[in-house]
Amino acid sequence: MGTPGVEHALPAATSVAVVIYDNGETELRRETVDASGLSRYRKNDWLDFHVTFESELGRVPASYVVQLFDDAGNVLSRVRRAIDA
């Protein structure tokens, strides 16, 4: 589920946060990339970002949220997606 934001937010973004949740909405992992690292993950109009991690048995990733921010820290876009197990 996306939220309204800036059209074509990726080119305007200066940082990104990716948060992975389990079925109980407990945060399993958070990755933040600032302006200096964001260009590595931009592929044309896509954000190509992979997260690999280990969690406790039974703490299965169920969804993730990607938020794009401008240089003032304002949310440009927020997208939530389910993770297919």
Question: pLDDT category, 11, cuts 50, 70, 90?
Answer: confident
* 81 has pLDDT over 90: yes
- Residue spans of the domains in the chain: they are 2-82
Please count the other Cβ atoms lying within 10 Å of the Cβ belonging to residue 64: 19
State the amino acid at position 49 in one-letter form. Answer: F
pLDDT at 73: 93
Whether residue 11 contacts residue 32, with contact meaning beta carbons closer than 8 Å, is answered with no
Structure tokens at 61: 């990733």
pLDDT digits 0-9 by tens, 15-70 = 999 999 999 999 998 999 888 888 787 777 777 777 776 777 778 899 999 999 99
Domain 2-82 sits in CATH 2.160.20 = no
| AA letter at 80 | R
